[in-house]
Each structure stands twice: as structure tokens, then as C-alpha cells.
Chains A and B, each alone.
Chain A
Amino acid sequence: MVPLLLSILFSLEPVRNVRAFDTPDDGGGSITVTWEIPESDTFITRIEIFRMEGSTEATPELVGYFLRPQTQFVDNTVEDGIPYYYFVRIRSDSVYVDSKITTTPAISKAQWFSGRRLPALIILVLYFGFLMFYIFKAKTGGSLFIRKIAGLEAIDEAVGRSTEMGRPILYILGLGFISDIPTVASLAILKRVSKKAAEYEAEVIVPCFDPIVMVAAQETVKEGYLEAGRPDLYNEGQVFYLTSDQFGYAAGVDGIMLRQRPGAVFLQGLFFAESLILAETGHSIGAIQISGTTAVTQLPFFIAATDYTLIGEEMYAASAYLSKDPLALGTIKGEDIAKMVLVVLILIGTLMETLGIHWLSNFFALF
């Protein structure tokens, strides 16, 4: 016991290079303190950070502590514009030593630009540039080619077949909220489906998971019927709220499938573990099914169980594809060019990493 105590007493050196500075790239109210622990200090049980407000003579105040060796502390209890001084105390049980007090005052302030997000800004500006360029190109009449997407071509066929069988069409928007982009993309497809359905005088049923999405879906279906010139066919009861519980929703939709036997089922949006429960039940009633999602883990289920699947970005392309709006098509072209650039960047990055050059990965790692 005595040799152990002695070794602690002799080896406890104060931490070195204590620095305190305004936390960079933040909204103020924060100072970062860093220090170095001498290698000989192996018995640290506690690290305490003390702060003095205004001058080095002020009474030190304990602002934070660690029970493990750490070399950085972020003090979020400071006020902007006031100079602060810091020192760090390390303890080994009851023995402790203090570091020197920081010589320059640390003053917190808010920044107007987040430097560490510069790479993101560069990418964003470049990408928006591509998109805007192709939007303008489309505006000035350049023709844009978009490949055939089988799942979207099949929409009319599905609606038609369902009508022939005299059955309704079921449209599922998934578990997304209106703030999820797949949900908005799905609404665009819903508009096309309801327009076609109105033309054929078929009924569209849309059970919803979220009330806001329900309201948006009601507007969308109404608009689709209006575009087809049949607003008289629309009734509020077609688009209704079911529940916001995942499996409750799955049970409810399965029930609708088995009782109303829709001829076509659309599963478009954000899906989770209920995806296969819906798709298999849809298959069991013999409906033609068109699915689409950006949830990568659910895609295999949809591909296995439904007739057509929109994979990831194909769903986002749907509204442009269906409306043939040149402006929207322009953004898709821009997206493709950006993807090329990314592929090249990934290849260069892989090559550079293999050769041991790391600046490219470091540049992007900053974000």
C-alpha cells in the first residue's frame, strides 16, 4: 500500500498546455478548454475544470469534472463578451495538483459563418448550380430524354384493369409525415392515379397514417378528379385517417384489402417493418401491385412481393416523369450529372486513400 501511495504522490504532475478559446463555428455562449495529460499520470481518478470570471484574481468556480482521463471540456455556461480564465485540477483520490492558469482571456462570441461546413456549402452551391443550369436549359427548349420507368408506365394499366374487374383502387402513402420527401413524391403519383381513376369512374381509397398527410391527400385526390373533369365523383370519405400506430395501421389496411378486395394496390412512400405484411396481403387477394420506397431495407420485400417497384430515386423522378414538365425534368438531368461527378470523386478518393493520400477524405470528414 505504501509504495503504491508513494508512486501516486511522486507521479502526479499537473496537466500541461491548458488552453481556453471561444468554441468555433457556434452560436455563442460556449468556451472550449483543452489540455494535455503527462504520460506519467496514470492514477487519475478525477479531473476538475475551474473558471474565473473577469480576472485571474477572481474566485475559481468549479464548472465541470470528468471521472475518466479526458483532454477537452466545453463550457456551455458562459456569457458572450466576458473574459474568462481557466485552470485544470487533477486528482488521485485525495491528492491533487493544479495546472497553471490560462494567460490569455477566453471570450465567447457567436460566429456568422460555420467554417467546418464549408465543404457542404461548396457541394450545395455546385449541385444547385447543376440543377439551375438544366432548369434554364429546359426552359429555353432543349429536349431532355428520360428512360422508361416500368413501374410508372404500369400505373394506367393497373387502374384500367382494376376498373374492368369492378374493384376499387387502394392507395397507401406509407408511414411518412408530410415533412418526409418520399411522402410528397407519393402525393404526385396519387394525383395521377386519382385522375386516371376519375376518367374510368373508379373509386380510390386512401387510408392515412398521419392527419396532415390525410389533408394533403384529400386535396390531391380532389385536384386529380377535377383535372379529369369529374369533381362530382369525389367524396371526403375516400381519404380518411386510420391510426398512427405502425402495426395498427398494417392491420387496418390488411382488413380493408380483405373486405373491399381492391383490384390495384399502390404502396408508395416511406415504409418500415410493415411493408411485407401489406404487400403479401395485397398479393393474396390477387391485386396488381405497384410499390415504391426510398427505405432501402424494405426494398427487397417489395421487389419480392409486388409486381412493379420504384427503387429509391425513381420515386422522386415520378412527378417529373408523369407530368413531363420540362422544368422538373431539368432537375433530373442535373441530378444525373451530379451523380457522375460523385462517382468520379469516389473513384479518385478510393485511389488516393489506397495510395495513402488523405486530404480529400479529411476535407469531406469535416462536416
Chain B
Amino acid sequence: MKREIPLAITFISGFLLIVALFIPHKPFGTLQETFNDWYIIVSGFTMILGIDSLLLHNWNKVKRRKSDWPYALALIMSFFLTFLWGLYSIVYEPTHNPFAPTASFLKYFYKSIFVPLQATMFALLAFFIASAAYRAFRAREINSTLLLFSAALVMLGRVPEGEQAAPYVFGIIFLLFAVYFFIEASLLTAGFLKYLYIALGVLLLAAIYPVGKLLLAYLPKIADWIMNIPQLAAKRGILIGVALGGIAMSLRIIVGIERTYLK
């Protein structure tokens, strides 16, 4: 029974909501809204569970003097500080609103602590993108080389004056590749591959000037094209797969094939 009842609830509510999509008549038309309201109410109460878990977990760390327990203590203290400060703002400050422009909560907590902390975490992305890009974009094979080139084109094409820098950047890339091909060729004995490498190297050197000219004139357009055509096409392909997979997964949940979320 412990398993059957939740499965039955899942099946009935899932089936009802699908049917409701096609029936505007009462009570079906407003069913989704009603279910959403219930979900919001229930999830509001589960916040208590969350707070209980958070405080207990960290209090245990402090009590047992586990390693790094001062962090746990800092968390508990910040929790109560925020909570009590908000409460104080509601009860004692003239506007009874912690987010009123004059409230001390907004001025000292929100603007001076919360906002900078959030912005700091987000700002870390700039550093992480640089280190991840440095590691990930290696010309290991044809595919990753293409990825590397399109990444460079988009990165430079999406900033003002990017087209001024691009000819130099790509000139250097082409030069390096040409040098690489010449070195490869010099190590090979005469044969088709040797001449191919030499030809490729020469081709790259010859391409530096015309490609530079092209980039100077059309870089932003090229970057937009990469974003709007190949990028969007790949994205849509993944999205269609995700949508179909999502429906299949929902069906598995509704008919009870997928039940990991149940005990």
C-alpha cells in the first residue's frame, strides 16, 4: 500500500492534467492553476523542513567540533542575524517594510552585504571562463579545431573594435599553423605527405592577408552568422530531443515505470 497509493495519486493527477489541456470547460480549465496553487502552498511549508535540516546539520558540526566547525557557526549566526534584523524592520521601523528605501535592513544588509556577495559570486565566472577556455580549446582533431576557430571568431566579433584586433590574432594563428606544418614536413622523408604539409603551410601564409581583410570588413556579421545559423541549429536539435525525452520520461512517471523518487 505504501507504494500503491502514491503511484495512484501520480497517475490520476498526471492523467487529469493532460486531459485538462484539451478541455476548457469547468472544472478542467482551471485545474492546472489549482494544482499549481496547491504546490505553492505545500512547498511553502517544506521551507520549514529545509531550515530544520540546515540548522541541525550545522549545529551538529559545531557540537561535535568537526573540522571547519567555525564555518558552521558563522552560518547559524548569519541566519539568525538576517532573520531577526528583518523582523525588527517589520515591527519597529516606520514603514514596517524591510525593503522600504529608509529601512536599515535594505540599506545595511541588502545593499552593503547581500548585493556585493551575489555580484562577487557571479563575477567569478569571468575567471572561470578564461581558465576553462584555455584548457578546453585545443586543436586535437578537425572538430575541435573548428570549434576553436568559431570560438575565436565569436569572442572577437561580439565586442566593439573586435574586428580591428581579429586580423592580427588570426594572422598569428595562421602563422603558427604554417610553422607547425613546415616543421612536420621537414621531419618527413620525401613523399606525398611531405608536399601536402608544405602546400598547406604555404596556403596558410598566403591566406593571412586576404583573411585579415575579410575579417576587418565582415567580422561582426560572421560572428552573428555563427550564432544565428549553426549555433541555433544545433541548439534546436538538442531541444527537440530534450522535449521528446521529457514527454517519454513524464509518461514513465505517470504510468509508474519510473519511480526512483518513491521509497
Contact = CB atoms under 8 A, between A and B. Distances in A.
Interface in A126-183: 127-128, 131, 135, 177-179, 181
Interface string B21-53: 111111001100000000100110011111101
B131 interface: yes
Contacts of A211: 43, 46-50, 53
A280 interface: yes
B178 to A, nearest CB: 27
Interface in B60-101: 60, 67-68, 71
B132 A276 contact: yes
Given A113-B23, A277-B125, A312-B238, A328 B257 contact: yes
Contacts of B249: 181, 184-185, 316, 331
Q: Which of B47, B136, B253, B261 has the most CB of A within 10 A?
A: B261
Contact of A259 (B26, B51, B68, B125): B68
A273 B24 contact: no
A313 B23 contact: no
A293 B128 CA distance: 19
A64 B132 CA distance: 56
A219 B253 CA distance: 17
Contacts of A305: 128, 132, 135-136
A322 B258 CA distance: 12
Q: Which of B67, B132, B249, B253 has the most CB of A within 10 A?
A: B249
Interface string A109-134: 01111100100110010011001000
Contacts, number: 193
A65 B235 CA distance: 42
Given A219-B263, A296-B238, A319 B258 contact: yes
A184 B258 contact: yes
Interface stretch (B187-195, B219-227, B240-248): B240-248
Contacts of B246: 181, 294, 316
Interface stretch (A68-76, A100-108, A235-243): A235-243
Interface stretch (B116-124, B156-164, B166-174, B204-212): B116-124
Contacts of B51: 241
A313 B136 CA distance: 23
A363 interface: no
B99 to A, nearest CB: 16
Give the interface residue-count category, chain A: 35 or more
Interface residues of B, number: 61
Interface in A293-321: 294, 296, 299, 301, 303-305, 311-313, 315-317, 319-320
Interface stretch (A20-28, A37-45, A53-61): A20-28
B228 interface: no
A20 B21 CA distance: 26
B53 A25 contact: no
B49 to A, nearest CB: 5
B129 interface: yes
A212 B46 contact: yes
A30 to B, nearest CB: 10
A205 to B, nearest CB: 11
Given A219-B263, A316-B246, A304 B23 contact: no
Given A215-B46, A250-B121, A334-B248, A276 B128 contact: yes
Nearest to B256: A327
A99 B251 CA distance: 53
A279 B125 CA distance: 11
Contacts of B139: none
A135 B121 CA distance: 46
A240 to B, nearest CB: 4
A280 B29 CA distance: 46
B135 A131 contact: no
Contact of A237 (B60, B121, B135): B60
A220 B260 contact: yes
Given A184-B253, A331-B252, A111 B46 contact: no
Contacts of B67: 259
B240 A342 contact: yes
B28 to A, nearest CB: 8
8 contacts: A110-B24, A110-B25, A111-B25, A114-B23, A120-B22, A214-B50, A273-B122, A331-B257
Given A179-B39, A316-B248, A338-B244, 7 more contacts: A181-B250, A208-B50, A241-B53, A241-B57, A247-B122, A280-B128, A320-B252
